[in-house]
Amino acid sequence: MADEIFYRASVQVSNEGGRNSTDINVGSWKEREMTWHVLGGKSDYPSGWQKCWEEDRTPWDLGHVTPVIQHLVQTDALPKGRILIPGCGRGYDVIAMASSQRNVVGLDLSEAAITKAKKLAASSANANSTTFIVDDFFTWQPNEPFELIFYYTFFCAIDPKTRPAWASRMAELLKPDGELLILMFPISDHVCGPPYKVSVSDYEEVLAPFGFKAISITENEHAIEFRKGYEKLGRWKRTSN
Ligand SMILES: C[S@@+](CC[C@H](N)C(=O)[O-])C[C@H]1O[C@@H](n2cnc3c(N)ncnc32)[C@H](O)[C@@H]1O
């Protein structure tokens, strides 16, 4: 079920590229199987992610900035300062958030993804406010913590066993009054992954021990068509330090 939601997004994106719909449907399902094969059934398999990016098997890639990020930028609803986007992929959201008041770091363990992201960012107006780093989110040590961490299609891409470690990293990487902005997806009840299913309580369970409390949880009204109803936007801050 969620596989379908996740990968039908690529059908929509491909459609914009002008392929006919039969090819698109067949192609996207083949692509999904090949991607799974390349990842070896393990979402924490670094060379698998690298291979996906090298071979352009990236059915999760929207091909553009995440619409809700575009909305938050346009309505000036994001904190200023240092921002981190782990598992940034091709970096659309890094580029969209970057400004003279926001320095945005895109982190991904795939060198091929970061090469593509740097190329895309090079011609953007705020290229000087972007930094792209190849490293593992679970071990990377930045010089300074962040005001904001934005997260999308990454919690669902990591092995659920690593979620407590994920939350611990969030606490380390954010400033004490920093904010965690999470686009939770796919909120569903399927059993396999990646993408693994997520729920608001999955996040709460691992974030609460580090003092994080949700300051808002809303339906994502800006979700792309095939993900509508399966996404919520959560903003979290720490209440105790
Ligand atoms: C499903 S993709 C999503 C990419 C991007 N967020 C998007 O929505 O297009 C997950 C990304 O996380 C990266 N990734 C997986 N595990 C990682 C880790 N431990 N540290 C950093 N990046 C990781 C992969 O290379 C991949 O680019």
Candidates 182, 155, 172; CA nearest to 210 is 172
Residue with tokens 């953007």: 124
**DSSP code string of the chain:** -HHHHHHHHHHHHHHHTT--HHHHHHHHHHHHHHHHHHTTT-TT-HHHHHHHHHTT--TT--SS--HHHHHHHHTT-S--EEEEEET-TT-HHHHHH-BTTEEEEEEES-HHHHHHHHHHHHTSTTGGGEEEEE--TTT---SS-EEEEEEESSTTTS-GGGHHHHHHHHHHHEEEEEEEEEEE--BS---S-SSPPB-HHHHHHHHGGGTEEEEEEEE-TT--GGGTTS-EEEEEEES--
**Each residue of 188-202: pLDDT tens digit?**
887 777 778 899 999
Q: Which residues pair with 210 in a beta bridge?
A: none
56-76 average pLDDT score: 93
Which segment of 38-47, 59-68, 108-117, 141-150 scores lowest on mean pLDDT?
Answer: 38-47
Q: What is the mean pLDDT of the chain?
A: 83
Place 35 in a pLDDT band, splitting at 50, 70 and 90. low
Answer yes or no: is pLDDT of 6 > 60.
no
Q: Report pLDDT for 46.
A: 61
**Each residue of 109-124: pLDDT tens digit?**
999 999 999 999 999 9
Q: Report pLDDT for 153.
A: 81
Dist. CA 39 → ligand 1 center (Å): 12
Q: Quote the CA–CA distance of 228 and 219 in Å, as a whole number.
A: 9
Contacts 24+ apart (CB under 8 A), 216-224: 220/68, 220/183, 221/68, 222/67, 222/68, 222/70, 222/71, 223/67, 223/68, 224/9, 224/12, 224/62, 224/67
37 or 218: whose pLDDT is higher?
Answer: 218
Q: Report pLDDT for 239.
A: 80
Answer yes or no: is pLDDT of 42 > 70.
no
Domains and CATH numbers, the chain: 67-238 (3.40.50.150)
Which segment of 52-56, 57-61, 134-138, 148-152 scores lowest on mean pLDDT?
Answer: 57-61
Q: Cα 97 vs. chain centroid, distance in angstroms?
A: 14
| Residue 194 preceded by cis peptide, ω within 30 | yes
Round to the nearest angstrom and report the end-to-end CA distance of the chain. 40
Place 52 in a pLDDT band, splitting at 50, 70 and 90. confident
**Other beta carbons within 10 Å of 25:** 14
| Identity of the amino acid at 22 | T
- Structure tokens belonging to residue 42: 């393990």
Q: Report pLDDT for 4.
A: 46
Residue having the nearest C-alpha atom to atom 27 of ligand 1: 89
Q: Global pTM?
A: 0.85
Q: Report pLDDT for 74.
A: 97
Dist. CA 108 → ligand 1 center (Å): 6
81-104 average pLDDT score: 97
Q: Report pLDDT for 128.
A: 97
| Mutation to probe ligand 1, out of 32, 85, 108, 135 (largest number of atoms < 8 A from CB) | 108
CB-based pocket (< 6 A), ligand 1: 49, 60-61, 86-89, 107-110, 113, 136-138, 152-154, 157-158
Place 144 in a pLDDT band, splitting at 50, 70 and 90. very high
**DSSP code string of 15-36:** HHTT--HHHHHHHHHHHHHHHH
56 or 118: whose pLDDT is higher?
Answer: 118
Which segment of 47-51, 58-62, 231-235 scores lowest on mean pLDDT?
Answer: 47-51
Place 216 in a pLDDT band, splitting at 50, 70 and 90. very high
Q: Quote the CA–CA distance of 86 and 142 in Å, as a whole number.
A: 12
81-101 average pLDDT score: 97
Atom number of ligand 1 nearest to Cα 140: 20
77-91 average pLDDT score: 96
